[in-house]
Amino acid sequence: MESNHSSLFDEAMDRYQSGIEASELIEDFETITSTTPNQAAGWTCLAWLQLLCNKNEDALRSARTAVKLNRQDPQARINLCLALLETKSKGVREHIEFVQRVLFAVPDIKKELRISIEDGFTRKPDWKALKKVQDWLGF
């Protein structure tokens, strides 16, 4: 059963990377997170898609779930920062500082996060919250 879920995840990721609209993938990731609710990566991706589609309250819930499931994932923390900024909620600093510590300890992650941020600007060019996060992380 697990391989079925991971193939759905892989297919959805391939579709995203091929350039399909974020709004067309939200339902896929909602299915992924409802069938495998403990898969942090599914929640991280769902939060990102929701942010791209300006579903900020939904993104905040998804990002909080992703961070709760995997507190070490810097992308989940970035998504949570973005959702907090978009909903004008408090708590951004602790997550930015966590990502900064991860980048210091594991510099290889910087390339992956930079690619993610570039993708965000490609899909949502005037994303003010992402610009703030990018500046805080020194990218």
pLDDT, mean of residues 1-24 = 84
**Tokens 């594991």, residue located:** 106
Model pLDDT for residues 88-125, shown as the tens digit of each residue: 999 999 999 999 999 999 989 999 999 999 999 999 99
Helix (H, G, I), strand (E, B), or coil: what is residue 23? helix
H, E, C per residue of 22-40: HHHCHHHHHHHHHHCCCCH
Would the pLDDT of 5 be above 90?
no
- Choose between 24 and 7: higher pLDDT: 24
Q: How far is CA 58 from the centre of its chain?
A: 12
Residue among 42, 110, 55, 45 at smallest CA distance from 83 = 55
Model pLDDT for residues 33-81, shown as the tens digit of each residue: 999 999 999 999 999 999 999 999 999 999 999 999 999 999 999 999 9
- Report the pLDDT value the prediction gives residue 107, as an integer from 0 to 100: 87
Domains of the chain listed by start with CATH number = 2-137 (1.25.40.10)
pLDDT, mean of residues 4-13 = 83
Q: How far is CA 117 from the centre of its chain?
A: 10
Task: Measure the CA angle with vertex 71, ends 68 and 73; round to 5°.
Answer: 120
With residue 63 as reference, give the H or E element that holds it: helix 56-69
Residue among 110, 105, 78, 83 at smallest CA distance from 94 = 78
Asked if 57 contacts 97 with a C-beta cutoff of 8 angstroms, the reply is no
Provide the pLDDT confidence category of residue 4 given band limits of 50, 70 and 90.
low
